[in-house]
Amino acid sequence: MSATIEYVRFETTDPAELTAQRDQLIALLRERYGSDFLGAHLARYEDGSLLDLILWASPEAAARAAEEMPGEPAAGEFFRLIGEVHEMRHAEMLHSTHL
């Protein structure tokens, strides 16, 4: 199995609140998916849209979470703050290095 990156670029009207709610989402991902959840990064583009990069241990784990999480009540506040989604994709990680 190959590690998988989940890439989501989206809009929000309240980046500060979304960022605050993300802590609860990350805790839920750790609890629900255990060692299949490898980490996550949230960034903002110059145009104000956000980029969420989530690292999964496998494409199966990424697909499972993408299907389950948007309807998960415990993650509802986070997903409520997401506006238009410009792109969501999964990609196989070919190489990685840590700072």
**Taking 80 as the threshold, does the pLDDT of residue 54 lie above it?**
yes
What is the gyration radius of the CA atoms in the chain, in angstroms?
13
Q: Mean pLDDT, to the nearest integer, of 19-38?
A: 96
Query: Encoding tokens for residue 87?
Result: 């792109």
pTM comes to: 0.90
Give the residue extent of every domain in the chain. Answer: 4-92
Q: Rounded mean pLDDT of 64-91?
A: 95
Give the model confidence (pLDDT) of 76-87 as tens digits: 999 999 999 999
Confidence of residue 98 (pLDDT cuts 50, 70, 90): confident
Share of the chain above pLDDT 70, in %: 98
Q: Which residues, at least 6 apart from 2, have a Cβ–Cβ distance to it below 8 Å?
A: 58, 59, 92, 93
Instruction: Quickly name the fold that domain 4-92 has.
Output: Alpha-Beta Plaits (3.30.70)
Contact 78, 65 (CB under 8 A): no
What pLDDT, in 10s, does the model give residues 13-26? 999 999 999 999 99
Pair 66, 79: CB distance under 8 Å: no
DSSP assignment of 46-88, as one string? Answer: TTS-EEEEEEESSHHHHHHHHHHGGG-GGGHHHHHT---EEEE
What torsion, rounded to 10 degrees, do the Cα atoms 19, 33, 66, 4 define?
Answer: 90
